[in-house]
Amino acid sequence: MAFSSLYSSVLRGKWFISFKDVEANHILVNKLLERGVDSEDTTKLSEKTPITVSAISEKEMKSGNDFTDAPQDSVAIIGLQGSMIKYGSYCSYGTTEVAELINKAADSPKITGILLDIDSGGGSVDSIAPLVDAIQYAQKKKKCVIAYCDLCASAAYYVACYCDEIVASNTISSEFGSIGVMMGFQDYAKYYENAGIKTHTIYSDLSNYKNAPFESAKEGNYDAIKTEELNPLARGFQEAVKSKRGDKLNLKVEGIIAGRMFYANEAKTNGLIDSIGTRDFAVNRVREIRRDACLTDYINSKNA
């Protein structure tokens, strides 16, 4: 199951991902496509090594796999690292698993806010919704959520822009952007033809639109697949970023919502992020935002 979900994501997915991450994973992808994975490697990573989370208060920090023993008034620190896929596989945690931890933190009376520790070049399109839903659930529970990031590209930035603030972890390696969508597929027609295998694909007379963009793409015409599949996703990504970053975002900067990447200082100048600081700084921002919200609620209640 862990293998098949990863295999499916690689083959059929549309991706919000930095191309550097695609290149870096070519060896693994080729191994998957060749079925060159030993059976003992197909257990889900979370079954072998449950995700570790931390809860840090002003006096102590505890780590574990849930928030049962969290100190009172803690900030939950939850990691989002590596290429993002929806379901956990033998080599990575799924975003559904990370989202479950965010929901648990949101429900815990001991947790005052959440730090989402991001170091990711993005991932599959379907990996995003579980995290966005979990972040919005936490915010409805009046828990501040801050994205604390090193690499935060594409799908990872899609998620980060829904947080209350985005903080870069350093001015050396932290990068942001790659707001765009891509897909790729392998055409094995010649390979099978050389092996003496003829593939027949037959559609019903009543299904003339079925897979039409993909069939055109196999013939080298990418217009339909861009118009019907990729462009709507790209527009949705851009609108989410513009909506969540608001007036902070400098849309006059060339390529800012069309795939360009920015290091931390430039990302801050152009409104992709809010600040740059250490993890302690980010944790304190969670507490400050929560305190400000509580004060605002108190003032509003007195004025009601």
Question: What pLDDT sits at residue 227?
Answer: 95
Which residues lie below 8 Å from residue 148, measured CB to CB, with a gap of 6+? 115, 116, 117, 118, 167, 169, 279, 282
The boundaries of the domain holding residue 257 are: 2-181+247-303
| For range 119-144, the mean pLDDT | 95
State the Cα–Cα distance between residues 183 and 187, nearest whole angstrom. 13
Lowest mean pLDDT among 141-155, 250-264, 290-304: 290-304
In a domain, 50, yes or no: yes
Distances (CA, A) of 224 to 10, 31, 195, 215, 250: 22, 31, 31, 10, 31
Closest CA to 157 of 207, 118, 203: 118
Condensed to tens digits (0 to 9), the pLDDT of residues 46-102 reads 788 888 999 999 889 999 998 999 999 999 999 999 889 998 877 788 999 999 999
In a domain, 230, yes or no: no
In a domain, 120, yes or no: yes
- As for how many domains the chain has, the answer is 1
- Indicate the pLDDT class of residue 7, thresholds 50, 70 and 90: very low
Q: Is 20 helix (H, G, I), strand (E, B) or coil?
A: helix
In a domain, 131, yes or no: yes
CATH number, domain containing residue 298: 3.90.226.10
In a domain, 103, yes or no: yes
In a domain, 221, yes or no: no
3-state helix, strand, coil in the chain (%, to 5): 45, 20, 35
In a domain, 228, yes or no: no
State the Cα–Cα distance between residues 37 and 147, nearest whole angstrom. 34
In a domain, 200, yes or no: no
Calculate Rg over the CA atoms of the chain.
Answer: 22
Q: Whole-model pTM?
A: 0.88
